């Protein structure tokens, strides 16, 4: 087998407790005028105010937009940059959850290249470099601080849409687990489950033909030796610390390992991509208005069960990474044990067990299957092919909470 590896990451990644205090030094290397994107909740905290004061004390001029909304509504990006254009920023800093970092990417994009946000929907539509972005996550789940994607909601479209380009990768990712300490258990669980889903899907995506044009013509290129390294790291950290962080948010080691796991998962799926669990969540999320992380985690065990017959080796490896011992079990038994462990972990942290419990209506199963199947960049990444019949059965199994039915 020909060995192929590829990875796209920020120029600088800094991780550790208290590392938020490095923000002024990192920003000073990029210029003197910083445009900051965050949300109202975090903007009101003493922590945020201290960070802004530190930037100004370092000699930077700072303009703050503190009205970032969940899922980044399309028109909110226009409102965001209206005040920024005259400020003429030299960098954009996103501080907050995934939406704050995605807003920073979108703002940097439009400030650099103009036009309407919808001009850039899809893959590889960004024509060139954008203003430098510094991403500072305050949650541990999306991995947006290291990925080439910004997700927005468009009122003219039913599903959320993505802008995918290597040009969207932040210049610097500054990850301080102390910023996640105030995350409530429910948010910690959903974000962490999102990260674990990223890692598992990245590790089990289809392996593409490694010709010389793949990495140049695609944003997401499937699993390879480097993405596997980060996916395995993410699964190991999240497997041993996510439940601890949910049950005891004051556990500093657990918080650190969950955030590092989220970061590693972002490093993996930002190049490998994700697959069917994410494809199904898009229409489910549009119909149920539930959190992205909750949706992908709800679906993941069913997608794993569907993929089992073509990914036995990968799932057996996942079982070992999650801390399960062979104990004389066969490869197939270990692969099944990996799915059981994911089910156990998600149940322990409060993840919904079925699409019905998530709020999906039975008469929307067919529409959900059709919409999910149409998201080619994700479906083509799934290790086991899907057609409308198999997708419908998979969604039905997830709706009824019937894990065995998703094996097919």
Q: What is the pLDDT of residues 141-157, one digit of tens each?
A: 999 999 999 999 999 99
Rounded Cα–Cα distance for residues 87 and 32 (Å): 11
Write down the mean pLDDT value for the chain: 97
Q: What is the pLDDT of residues 72-121, one digit of tens each?
A: 999 999 999 998 989 999 999 999 999 999 999 999 999 999 999 999 99
Distance (Å) of CA 175 to CA 18, 32, 97, 374, 376: 9, 22, 12, 35, 32
Average pLDDT of 346-366?
A: 98
Kindly indicate the confidence band of residue 23, based on its pLDDT and cuts at 50, 70 and 90: very high
Residue 223 has a CB neighbour count (10 Å cut-off) of 25
| Contact (CB, 8 A) for 205 and 383 | yes
Length of the chain: 408
| Contact (CB, 8 A) for 319 and 361 | no
Bridge partners for 235 per DSSP: none
Distance (Å) of CA 166 to CA 18, 120, 310, 358: 29, 13, 30, 34
User: What is the predicted pLDDT for the residue at 353?
Assistant: 97
Checking if the pLDDT of 310 tops 70, the result is yes
Average pLDDT of 14-43?
A: 98
With a CB cutoff of 8 Å and minimum separation 6, the contacts of 145 are: 10, 101, 135, 136, 137, 170, 173, 174, 175, 263, 266
Average pLDDT of 229-257?
A: 98
C-alpha 114: how far from its chain's center? 26
Kindly indicate the confidence band of residue 3, based on its pLDDT and cuts at 50, 70 and 90: confident
User: What is the predicted pLDDT for the residue at 1?
Assistant: 60
| Contact (CB, 8 A) for 255 and 245 | yes
Q: What is the pLDDT of residues 29-88, one digit of tens each?
A: 999 999 999 999 999 999 999 999 999 999 999 999 999 999 999 999 999 999 898 999
Q: What is the pLDDT of residues 176-196, one digit of tens each?
A: 999 999 999 999 999 999 999
| Main-chain phi, psi angles of 189, to 5 degrees | -65, -50
Q: Measure the N-to-C terminal CA separation of the chain; round to a whole number of Å.
A: 30
User: What is the predicted pLDDT for the residue at 408?
Assistant: 87
């Amino acid at each position: 087998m020909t060995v192929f590896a590829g990875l796209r990451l920020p120029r600088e990644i800094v991780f550790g407790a208290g590392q938020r205090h490095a923000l002024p030094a990192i920003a000073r290397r990029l210029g003197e005028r910083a445009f900051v994107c965050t949300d109202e909740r975090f903007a009101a905290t003493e922590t945020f105010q201290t960070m802004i004061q530190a930037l100004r004390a370092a000699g930077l001029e700072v303009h703050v937009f503190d009205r970032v909304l969940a899922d980044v509504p399309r028109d909110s990006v226009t409102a965001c940059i209206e005040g920024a254009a005259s400020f003429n920023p030299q960098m954009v800093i996103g501080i907050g959850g995934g939406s704050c970092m995605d807003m920073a990417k979108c703002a940097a994009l439009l400030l650099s290249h103009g036009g309407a946000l919808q001009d850039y929907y899809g893959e590889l539509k960004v024509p060139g470099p954008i203003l430098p972005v510094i991403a500072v996550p305050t949650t541990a789940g999306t991995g947006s601080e290291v990925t080439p994607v910004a997700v927005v909601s468009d009122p003219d479209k039913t599903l959320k849409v993505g802008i995918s380009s290597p040009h969207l990768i932040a210049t610097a990712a500054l990850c301080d687990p102390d910023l996640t300490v105030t995350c409530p258990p429910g948010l910690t669980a959903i974000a962490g489950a999102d990260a674990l889903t990223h890692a598992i899907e990245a590790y089990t995506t289809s392996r593409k033909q490694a010709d010389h044009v793949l990495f140049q013509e695609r944003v997401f290129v499937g699993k390879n030796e480097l993405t596997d390294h980060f996916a395995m790291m993410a699964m190991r950290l999240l497997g041993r610390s996510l439940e601890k962080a949910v049950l005891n948010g004051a556990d500093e080691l657990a918080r650190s390992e969950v955030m590092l796991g989220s970061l590693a998962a972002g490093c993996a799926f930002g190049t490998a991509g994700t697959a069917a669990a994410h494809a199904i969540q898009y229409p489910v999320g549009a119909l149920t208005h539930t959190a992205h992380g909750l949706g992908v985690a709800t679906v993941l065990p069913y997608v794993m069960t569907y993929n089992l017959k073509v990914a036995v080796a990968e799932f057996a490896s996942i079982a070992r990474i999650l801390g399960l011992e062979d104990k004389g079990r066969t490869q197939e038994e270990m692969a099944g044990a990996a799915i059981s462990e994911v089910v156990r972990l998600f149940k322990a942290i409060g993840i919904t067990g079925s699409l019905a419990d998530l709020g999906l209506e039975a008469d929307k199963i067919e529409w959900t299957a059709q919409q999910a199947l149409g998201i080619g960049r994700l479906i083509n990444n799934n290790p086991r092919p899907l057609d409308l019949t198999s997708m419908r059965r998979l969604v039905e199994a997830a709706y009824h909470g019937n894990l065995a039915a998703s094996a097919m």
